[in-house]
Amino acid sequence: MRIVSLPDVSRTQRRVAVGTFDGVHLGHREVIAGCDSVLTFDPHPVTVVAPAHAPKLLTDLRRKAALIEALGVREMIVIPFDRELAGLEADRFVNQVLVEALGAVHVSVGENFRFGHRAQGNAALLQADPRFSTTVHPLLEIDGEIVSSSHIRGLVAAGEVEHAARYLGAPFALAGEVVHGDARGRELGFPTANLIPDERLACPGHGVYACRAGEHLAAVSIGVRPTFQTGRAELIEAYLLDFDGDLYGSALELSFLERLRGERRFESAEALIEQMHLDVQRTREIAAAREAE
C-alpha cells in the first residue's frame, strides 16, 4: 500500500473513505470496504482543536497503516492536521481536498463523521454534492453496543482486552522498544522484555495478561510492581515463553488475548514466583483454546 501526505498527492479518480479511523475497528472496516483510498488525519484532530481532551490513541500511524493495508486498500493519504486545516470551512474542504486534490468520484463516511471549521460539515453536506456519490454508513452495533473508538479505549483502559478485540476485529496491540530494567524478573527466573508505555497511546489497565509477541506467547505485567519498592513509574514487562535471547533495543509488539488477573502485592518473592508459574500455564491454555476455535 502506498502512503502519501496530502500535499504530495496526484489527482486521479478515487473511491475514498474519509475518517480518523483510530483502531480501524469493525465499524471503520465497513466504511473502508470497497474503497481504493483512505483519507485520514495525523495527528488526531482533537489534539489540535482541544489538546486538554486529546484521547489516548488505539493505533499510531504505523499500525493504522498496517491494518488498513490488510483490508486491500491501494493507498492511505494522510492529511497533516494543524490549526490552518482546523479553520478550513467545510465547503472549502470538499472543494480543495476531496474534489481538486483527490479527484474523488465516490466518498464513504460514517454517519457521525464531521469535518471543517467547528465541525460544521457532515454526511448530509457530502450527499448533497453532485460531483461525487456518497455512501453514509450507519453506526455498527454489536450486542446492543455501538462500536466506537472511544468505547474501545474505555474497555482497554479497564483491562477488558478480550471484549475490545470483539469490536476491533483483532486483538488490541501495542509496540515499543525493549529497554533495560533492573533485572528483577531474571532474578526470579522469569527474564522480561521491558517496554515503557507511550503516553500518547492507550494502554491496558494494571494487571497481568496473556499475549502474543511475534511467534511467541507472553505473560505480560502492566503496573508498578507492588511487591517490590523500585521507585519506577509504570512499566510493561513481557515474559516471552520458550524464548532465550537478547531483545534490548529492538521493537516488540504485544497482542493482548485476555486479562489473567489484577495487579496485587505478594507476601514474598516465593509466592510471586508460584503465581507467575500459574500465569504462564494459563497463558498456554488460553492460546491453545484460541487455536482450537
CATH of the domain at 8: 3.40.50.620
User: Closest by alpha carbon to 11, among 106, 73, 107, 98?
Assistant: 98
Domain end marker among 146, 163, 181: 146
Domain end marker among 146, 181, 200: 146
- Alpha-carbon gap, residue 90 to 86, rounded angstroms: 10
Q: Are residues 38 and 134 in the same domain?
A: yes
For the stretch 110-161, pLDDT in tens is 999 999 998 999 999 999 999 999 999 999 999 899 999 999 999 999 999 9
For the stretch 1-37, pLDDT in tens is 999 999 999 999 999 999 999 999 999 999 999 999 9
Residue at 163 is within a domain = no
Q: Are residues 183 and 282 in the same domain?
A: yes
What is the mean predicted confidence (pLDDT) over 60-84?
Answer: 96
Q: Are residues 133 and 71 in the same domain?
A: yes
Which residues in 248-263 are b (16+ Cβ under 10 Å) and which e?
eeeebbbbbbbbbeeb
Q: Are residues 125 and 196 in the same domain?
A: no
Residue 183, sorted as left (phi over 0), alpha (psi -120 to 50) or beta, turns out to be: left
pLDDT at 185 over 80: no
Q: What is the DSSP track for 86-113?
A: HTS-HHHHIIIIIIIIT-EEEEEEETT-
pLDDT at 230 over 80: no
Cell of 269: 518473592
Which CATH number goes with the domain that contains 256? Answer: 2.40.30.30
Mean pLDDT of the chain: 92
Give pLDDT, residue 233.
62
Residue at 154 is within a domain = no
Give pLDDT, residue 202.
97
Q: Are residues 61 and 136 in the same domain?
A: yes
**% of the chain residues with pLDDT over 70:** 94
Residue at 98 is within a domain = yes
Q: Are residues 141 and 38 in the same domain?
A: yes
Q: Are residues 12 and 59 in the same domain?
A: yes
- Alpha-carbon gap, residue 191 to 240, rounded angstroms: 8
Q: Are residues 42 and 98 in the same domain?
A: yes
Residue at 165 is within a domain = no
Q: Which residues contact 256 (CB under 8 A, 6 or more apart)?
A: 161, 165, 171, 172, 173, 174, 204, 209, 210, 211, 220
181 and 187 Cβ atoms separated by less than 8 Å? no
Domain count, the chain: 2
- Alpha-carbon gap, residue 16 to 37, rounded angstroms: 5
Q: Which residues contact 244 (CB under 8 A, 6 or more apart)?
A: none
Residue at 151 is within a domain = no
Give pLDDT, residue 231.
47
Residue at 270 is within a domain = yes
Give the range of the structural domain holding residue 28, as residue numbers without chain letter. 2-146
